[in-house]
């Protein structure tokens, strides 16, 4: 601290002369020191890429591709549990920076995102830039857990029962329940309710008028009702899943800024023998495996790697000039959650001054509490079944609140990929009024998309065909969800705030009467965007299921030692945010690997 203060006073000695000047210098030094503590306590495993490239091992027991939610968990569990095994963890990105640490800055992380975009098809994402939805996926240690909303939701028990019914023994909720409990014990989760924000209580009362009451949150399940969801936040900072599982270990080799170009196969013995890597310095090398290769690159990059390795639909690979070694429906069965924002204005005109913002920033820097230590109203959610037929939800409601002339609103909208027409329409409302946003989210889309290669070059972004709303039932579910959400406006609780739904001026929907079914259908096709939950592109299922890529042990059909461990294996998308189920997949995969190699007596 003394050295820091000396450097400060040296910049302009006259300003810090005397007792008063020294007091100011001490204050400035204290602020800087508080800012430095953002990274105290945890250190990312060191980058051993140069060590491996120059004189490191040329083979490893396990090669894990992708240091995201699942990959970090699995690599960490393997390295910790079996010190005699060598583990290589390959990550295309680097360590996440300061923005990632601050929960409130969750939409300020495009520098560590792949920034994928969907292919335009004139049926969806019409209000997005170039009619392409923005699919942000993490490119850093921790993957998408470095940029997501930190919401922890298991899903509904029936989600996993359906996995088992589709031919995957061992994946029922009753059998995977223990993995969620183990994860939650490690995370030490707790609900975070920002004490100065009364809208939690207001929404409780409003939804209660509609018959939707608080559900139990102790099991973190997507049960019908409202809840304040638990968050991966610890001491006011993002709890990146890599921080939980990855520690510096002699047997763990992390190669950062390194992309896996393909998996090398030997079909004579049905084995994956190694991977081909490209480091950012341009060096390309091959690394062999002694036991297994595990793809945890996510629902977009995992199928891309499989394609480039010669695993995929024969017709598509032939089109790209790639020899088909194993024909499987890689890249298909793509499912995603999309939301539609409903913009309400209120009679509140809350103004946050520059002084207040500085105060919030200082509060966070010194105490890691306050406004910046949370994600606003996003953790308040409701689950409903719009047909009122059973207890499995088909819609998840998110909520957000923006004060008058909120300068974070534009960043928020741009982070979802909206075009300038949409951004201007919503920010114009916010000039004079607070905005209350309700965001119905489609939990079980019937429309399915597909990932394809753009070309055979590993560094090229793949083609993402979201196919949102290709099944008209998805539009119908949203129409019911919008009707249910609008009932909030009529509750006695919200009437006090003169909540009013504001029609957005969208040129593409100008020919339809507001509140007609045609208007809302047009609105949905313009305003629906992803909440970044793509799954299913390397579907788990039995060999006789011609739509599946991996078996119930997550091994690629036809290979003995190539495993996929990430959200791409999900046969169907879960009811809620997908981070928790993805962690569960990693924990169960570790259990399966452990049992397999203990049985072989190879420890």
**Residue 25, pLDDT above cutoff 70:** no
> DSSP readout, 163-209?
HHHTT-TT-SHHHHHHHHHHHHHHHT-EE---TT-THHHHHHHHHHH
**Residue 227, pLDDT above cutoff 80:** yes
Which region among 70-79, 216-225, 360-369 has the lowest average model confidence (pLDDT)?
Answer: 360-369
Tally of CA atoms within 13 A in the half-sphere of 530 that contains its CB: 28
pLDDT confidence band for 216 (50 / 70 / 90): confident
Q: What is the mean pLDDT of residues 537-559?
A: 98
Measured N-to-C along each axis, helices 354-367 and 18-36 cross at an angle, to the nearest 10 degrees, of 70
How many angstroms separate the CA atoms of 488 and 80, rounded? 50
**Residue 602, pLDDT above cutoff 50:** no
| pLDDT on residue 6 | 64
**Cα dihedral sign for 404, 410, 415, 420?**
positive
pLDDT confidence band for 5 (50 / 70 / 90): low
CB 371 within 8 A of CB 352: no
The pLDDT tens digits for 289-301 are 999 999 999 999 9
Which region among 311-320, 399-408, 438-447 has the lowest average model confidence (pLDDT)?
Answer: 399-408
| pLDDT on residue 138 | 94
Instruction: Specify which residues 266 forms β-bridges with.
Output: 271
The answer for residues whose C-beta is within 8 angstroms of residue 459's C-beta and 6 or more apart is 259, 278
How many angstroms separate the CA atoms of 396 and 159, rounded? 15
CB 571 within 8 A of CB 265: no
Q: What is the mean pLDDT of residues 383-391?
A: 91
| pLDDT on residue 198 | 86
| pLDDT on residue 603 | 39
| pLDDT on residue 35 | 61
Topology of domain 197-228+338-444+469-527, CATH: Cholesterol Oxidase; domain 2 (3.30.410)
3-state secondary structure 535-557: ECCCCECCCCCCCCCECCCCEEC
Q: How many helices (H) and strands (E) does the chain have?
A: 18, 25
| pLDDT on residue 99 | 87
Quick one: what percent of the chain has pLDDT higher than 70?
92
- Match 């990550």 to its residue by tokens: 91
For residue 102, give the nearest of 39, 151, 42, 180 by alpha carbon: 39
The answer for residues whose C-beta is within 8 angstroms of residue 424's C-beta and 6 or more apart is none
Q: What is the mean pLDDT of residues 113-120?
A: 96
Which region among 177-191, 289-303, 307-321, 442-456 has the lowest average model confidence (pLDDT)?
Answer: 177-191
Q: What is the mean pLDDT of residues 326-343?
A: 98
Domain borders along the chain are 2-39, 44-115+135-188+236-329+537-603, 197-228+338-444+469-527
**Residue 269, pLDDT above cutoff 80:** yes
The pLDDT tens digits for 233-264 are 988 899 999 999 999 999 999 999 999 999 99
How many angstroms separate the CA atoms of 180 and 582, rounded? 10
The pLDDT tens digits for 57-77 are 899 999 999 999 999 999 999
Burial of 514 (0-12, 13-18, 19+ CB in 10 A): exposed
Q: What is the mean pLDDT of residues 156-182?
A: 97
How many angstroms separate the CA atoms of 238 and 367, rounded? 15
**Cα dihedral sign for 189, 193, 194, 199?**
positive
| pLDDT on residue 222 | 96
Q: What is the mean pLDDT of the chain?
A: 92
How many angstroms separate the CA atoms of 309 and 321, rounded? 12
pLDDT confidence band for 367 (50 / 70 / 90): confident
Which region among 3-17, 275-289, 308-322, 333-347 has the lowest average model confidence (pLDDT)?
Answer: 3-17
Q: Class of the 44-115+135-188+236-329+537-603 domain?
A: alpha beta
| pLDDT on residue 21 | 64
Q: What is the mean pLDDT of residues 179-202?
A: 80
How far does Cα 561 stand from its chain's mean position? 28
**Residue 415, pLDDT above cutoff 50:** yes
Quick one: what percent of the chain has pLDDT higher than 90?
80
3-state secondary structure of 478: helix
pLDDT confidence band for 364 (50 / 70 / 90): confident
pLDDT confidence band for 12 (50 / 70 / 90): confident
């Amino acid at each position: 601290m003394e050295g820091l203060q000396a450097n400060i006073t040296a910049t302009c000695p006259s300003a810090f002369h005397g007792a008063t000047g020294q007091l100011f210098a001490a204050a400035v030094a204290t602020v800087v020191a508080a800012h430095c503590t953002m990274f105290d306590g945890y250190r990312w495993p060191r980058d051993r890429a140069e060590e491996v490239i120059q004189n490191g091992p040329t083979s490893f027991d396990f090669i894990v591709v992708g240091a995201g939610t699942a990959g970090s968990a699995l690599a960490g569990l393997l390295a910790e549990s079996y010190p005699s095994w060598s583990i290589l963890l390959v990550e295309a990105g680097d360590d996440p920076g300061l923005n990632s640490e601050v929960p409130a800055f969750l939409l300020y992380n495009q520098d560590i995102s792949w920034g994928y975009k969907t292919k335009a098809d004139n049926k969806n994402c019409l209000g997005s830039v170039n009619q392409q939805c923005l699919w942000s996926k993490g490119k850093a240690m921790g993957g998408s857990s470095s940029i997501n909303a930190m919401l922890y939701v298991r899903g509904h028990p029936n989600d996993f029962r359906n996995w088992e019914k589709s031919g995957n023994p061992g994946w029922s909720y009753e059998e995977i329940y223990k993995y969620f409990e183990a994860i939650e014990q490690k995370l030490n989760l707790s609900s975070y309710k920002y004490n100065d924000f009364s809208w939690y209580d207001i929404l409780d009362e409003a939804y209660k008028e509609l018959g939707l009451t608080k559900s139990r949150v102790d099991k973190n399940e997507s049960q019908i009702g409202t809840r304040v969801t638990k968050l991966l936040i610890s001491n006011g900072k993002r709890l990146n899943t890599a921080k939980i599982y990855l520690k510096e270990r002699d047997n763990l080799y992390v190669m950062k800024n390194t992309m896996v170009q393909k998996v090398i196969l030997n079909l004579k013995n049905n084995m994956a023998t190694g991977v081909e890597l490209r480091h950012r310095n341009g060096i390309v090398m091959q690394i062999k495996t002694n036991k297994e290769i595990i793809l945890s690159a996510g629902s977009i990059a995992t199928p891309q790697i499989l394609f480039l390795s010669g695993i995929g639909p024969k017709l598509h690979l032939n089109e790209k000039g790639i020899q088909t070694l194993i024909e499987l429906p890689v890249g298909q069965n793509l499912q995603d959650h999309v939301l539609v924002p409903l913009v309400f204005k209120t009679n509140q005109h809350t103004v946050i001054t520059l002084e207040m913002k500085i105060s919030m920033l200082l509060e966070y820097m010194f105490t890691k509490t306050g406004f910046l230590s949370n994600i606003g109203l996003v953790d308040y959610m409701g689950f409903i079944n719009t047909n009122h037929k059973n207890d499995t939800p088909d819609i998840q409601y998110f909520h957000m609140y923006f004060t008058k002339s909120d300068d974070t609103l534009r960043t928020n909208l741009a982070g979802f990929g909206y075009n300038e027409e949409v951004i201007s329409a919503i920010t114009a409302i916010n000039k004079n009024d607070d905005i209350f946003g309700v965001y119905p989210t489609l939990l079980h889309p019937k429309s399915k998309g597909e990932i394809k290669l753009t070309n055979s070059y590993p560094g090229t972004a793949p083609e993402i065909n979201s196919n949102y709303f290709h099944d008209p039932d998805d539009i119908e579910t949203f129409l019911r969800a919008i009707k249910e959400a609008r009932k909030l406006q009529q509750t006695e609780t919200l009437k006090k705030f003169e909540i009013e739904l504001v029609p957005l001026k969208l040129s593409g929907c100008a020919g339809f009467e507001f509140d007609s079914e045609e208007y809302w259908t047009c609105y949905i096709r313009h305003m629906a965007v992803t909440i970044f939950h793509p799954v299913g592109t390397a579907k788990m299922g039995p060999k006789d299921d011609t739509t599946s890529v991996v078996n119930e042990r997550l091994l690629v059909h036809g290979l003995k030692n190539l495993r996929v461990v990430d959200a791409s294996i999900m046969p169907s998308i879960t009811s809620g945010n997908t981070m928790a189920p993805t962690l569960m997949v990693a924990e169960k995969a570790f259990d399966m690997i452990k049992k397999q190699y203990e049985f072989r007596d190879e420890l």
